[in-house]
Amino acid sequence: MIDQITYLAGEFSFFAAIQIVIVAAVVYVGLSVFQNTLADILLRGVLVLVVLLFVFGFIFQFPLTTWLAGVAPSLILVLAVVFAPEIRRVLERLGRSSTTLGLALNMGAWEDEETIAAISRASAELSRRSWGALIVIERDVGLADFSGAGCMINGRVSAQILLSIFFPNSELHDLAVIIHGRTVVSAGSMLPMSTETSSTRHLGSRHRAAMGITEQTDAVAVVVSEETGAISLAADGRIAQHLTEEQLRRRLRAILIPSRTTRRRRWLRPRSWLVRNQG
C-alpha cells in the first residue's frame, strides 16, 4: 500500500492538479443544479461511494474500474427512470437560463408590479370573505396545456375580475385561474396534484394542485382557503401558509422581480428558498 501511495505521489503533476480542479468544478455544478431535489442526497451518496471504491481499488488493486465501466450504463438508466421528475425539472431550469434575460425584457417591472398589486388586493378580499381561490402566475414555462383546457378569458388582470371569477356561485370558482403578464388567460383550469403525498396529506385539493403545478413548472400559485380564509403561496413545490396581504406582495415581488444578482444566479440556484412552509 505504501508503494502505491508513493507511486501516486510521484505521478502527481501540475496537469493532474488542473484535471482534479476541473472534475471538482463539474461535480460541484452538477450537485448545485440538483440542489433541493430528491436526487440531491442520492447523487451525493453515489459520489462518495464511487470515490471510496476507486480509492480502495487503487490501494488494494481491485479491478473496480472495469466493473464500474460495465455497470455504469445500467446505473444511469435506472437513475433516469427513478428520478425522471427531478431530472425534468433540472433540465427545465437549465433551459430557462438561456432565455431568462430576453424574457425579462419583454415585461417591465412596472407591469409585474401591477399584476402583483391586483393579485394581492384580490387575495386579501377573498380571504376576508372566505372565498376559495387558486391563482397561477405563468413564468418562463408555458402553461398552454392547462389553460387551453379551461375557459379562455383573455382579460386584463384586476382585483374585480378575480373576485367575480371566484364568486362562490360562479361555475369557474372551483378550479384555477392562469395569469400571463397582465392578462387573465383562463379560468376553470384543471391542474395536476402534487406527487409529494407525505407533506401534502393535511392539505386541501387547491393547495395540492398549487404544489403540483409548481413541482412540474416554474409557475407561482396563490391559494385562498375556503375553510379558513388563509392565504398561501406555492413555488418550486413548496408552500408558505397564513400570509398577510403585505407578506404575499413582498414574496411575489421577490420571486417575480428578482434583483440583477439573483437573475444571474437563477440557472444555478433553485428558487425554493424564497418560500418556506410556515405551518
Cα-to-chain-centroid distance, residue 42:
18
Give the DSSP H/E element, type plus range, for residue 127: helix 109-129
pLDDT of residue 29 exceeding 90, the answer is: no
What is the CB-side half-sphere exposure of residue 277 using CA atoms within 13 A? Answer: 10
In the predicted structure, residue 250 carries a pLDDT above the cut 80: yes
Min mean pLDDT across 86-90, 112-116, 195-199, 214-218 is at 86-90
Distance of CA 100 to the CA centre of its chain: 15
pLDDT at 269 over 50: no
Question: pLDDT > 90: what percent of the chain?
Answer: 37
Q: Name the region of 265 (left: φ>0; alpha: ψ -120 to 50; beta: rest).
A: alpha
Of the listed ranges 52-66, 207-221, 234-248, the least confidently predicted one is: 52-66
Distance separating alpha carbons of residues 158 and 160, to the nearest angstrom: 5
pLDDT given for residue 257 in this prediction: 85
pLDDT at 267: 36
- Distance between CA 22 and CA 72 in Å, rounded? 21
Which pLDDT band holds residue 278 (cuts at 50, 70, 90)? Answer: very low
DSSP string covering 45-96: HHHHHHHHHHHHHHHHT--HHHHHHHHHHHHHHHHHHHTHHHHHHHHHHHHH
| Model confidence pLDDT, tens digit, residues 135-188 | 999 988 888 888 888 899 999 999 999 999 999 988 889 899 999 999 999 999
| pLDDT in the model for residue 237 | 87
Highest mean pLDDT among 11-15, 34-38, 185-189, 213-217: 185-189
- 236 conformational bin, left if phi > 0, alpha if psi -120 to 50, beta if neither: left
Would you say residue 202 has pLDDT above 60? Answer: yes
Quick check: 268 pLDDT over 50?
no
3-state helix vs strand vs coil in the chain, percent to 5: 60, 15, 30
CA triplet 87, 92, 96: central angle to 5 degrees?
150
The larger pLDDT score, comparing residue 277 to residue 113, is at 113
Report the relative pairing of strands 220-224 and 231-235 from DSSP bridges: antiparallel
Residue 72 burial (CB count, 10 A):
11
* Integer angstrom CA distances of residue 187 from 87, 183, 193, 237, 255: 30, 11, 17, 22, 23
Least confident range from 7-11, 54-58, 231-235: namely 7-11
Per-residue pLDDT at 199 exceeds 70: no
Cβ atoms 224, 125 nearer than 8 A: no
Cα-Cα-Cα-Cα torsion 99, 100, 106, 107, nearest 10 degrees, comes to: 150
Give the pLDDT score at 106: 46
**pLDDT tens digits, one per residue of 88-138:** 656 555 555 544 444 444 445 556 789 999 999 999 999 999 999 999 999
Q: What is the pTM of this model?
A: 0.60
Q: Which residues pair with 239 in a beta bridge?
A: 234
3-class SS at 258? coil
pLDDT bracket for residue 226 (50, 70, 90): very high
The cell numbers describing 81, all together, are 427512470
Average pLDDT over residues 17-32: 72
Paired with 183 in beta bridges are 156, 180
pLDDT value of residue 24 = 74
Q: How many CB atoms lie within 10 A of CB 112?
A: 19
Range with the largest mean pLDDT of 11-25, 87-101, 213-227: 213-227
